[in-house]
Amino acid sequence: MFIPRAQNPGLAALLTVLAAALLAGTTLLAKALGTGALGPALSPFQISHGRFLFAFLAIAAMTALIRPRMTRPDLATHATRSGFGWAGVTLMFAAAAFIPLSDATAISFLNPVFGMVLAIPLLGEKVGPVRWCAAGIALLGAMILMRPGSGVIETGAALALGAALCLGAELIFIKRLSGREGPWQILLVNNAIGLAIATLAVLWVWIAPTPAQWAALVALGLLMALAQTAFVNAMARGDASFVAPFFYTALVFAALYDGVIFGVWPDAVSITGAGVVLCGAGLLVWREGRRRAQVTQRPL
């Protein structure tokens, strides 16, 4: 039986900010690999394969060292979660080659909105007017970031929107696993199944990476493994409604990395669209926190 960790909000917030910085770093590396900055541009399928390969090796090594207690995994739920996660990551890496990292990251913040909508048929949840309003605001921000009329930006934004949809679906299955299995087990099984899916997908597009690209792929996988470890442990030590807002710092890190490395700084449209998305997502997180507090305080 899995025993949840004791709550530690301060550590949870710190781990979440660390996860956000690391995750933004993986998107930066994906952009470098997908735009030909380090050699011939790699397919998003190959970048995603590198992410799962080296993340799995890192997490497997850490698991062997720590030797956490394992329980019988729910393989069906893990497989579904990993399928959506692989699709979301691959689409996100593809989007990073077309649009600024800040835009791609902001659109990816729609995943809790899609998770809320999908929870209606999949989990039987009821959604009130405040949550629908939050979803509408966040989607309006995404429409601003779509920048109608510019074909390249539209393509990248559409890919990021697809990534958010897949990652939102993944949230449904993460909810089913949380509290039932330990974080190390969830990470290990997820990356093992994700690697299997990514390996099958990359067979048709794989090319020999340059030494610089190999280094970037290794770094991408290691950063993702560290980001996942930090975030899962943050979720184990703090309520989701408390942890989620700190993850929005990924937008700041993405904009900073993109500006310093590629010289791409957010313009007025990016700032406006990202601000609207964050307002909607923030309202949704606030409402979730209030709803959970009311359920917790309700007399038995």
User: Does 56 have pLDDT greater than 60?
Assistant: yes
User: Does 3 have pLDDT greater than 50?
Assistant: no
Percent residues over pLDDT 70 in the chain: 84
Give the single-character DSSP code of 181: B
Model confidence pLDDT, tens digit, residues 60-95:
998 999 888 888 999 999 999 999 999 999 999 999
Report the alpha-carbon distance of residue 249 to residue 252 in Å, rounded.
5
Model confidence pLDDT, tens digit, residues 204-243:
999 999 999 999 999 999 999 999 888 877 766 766 656 6
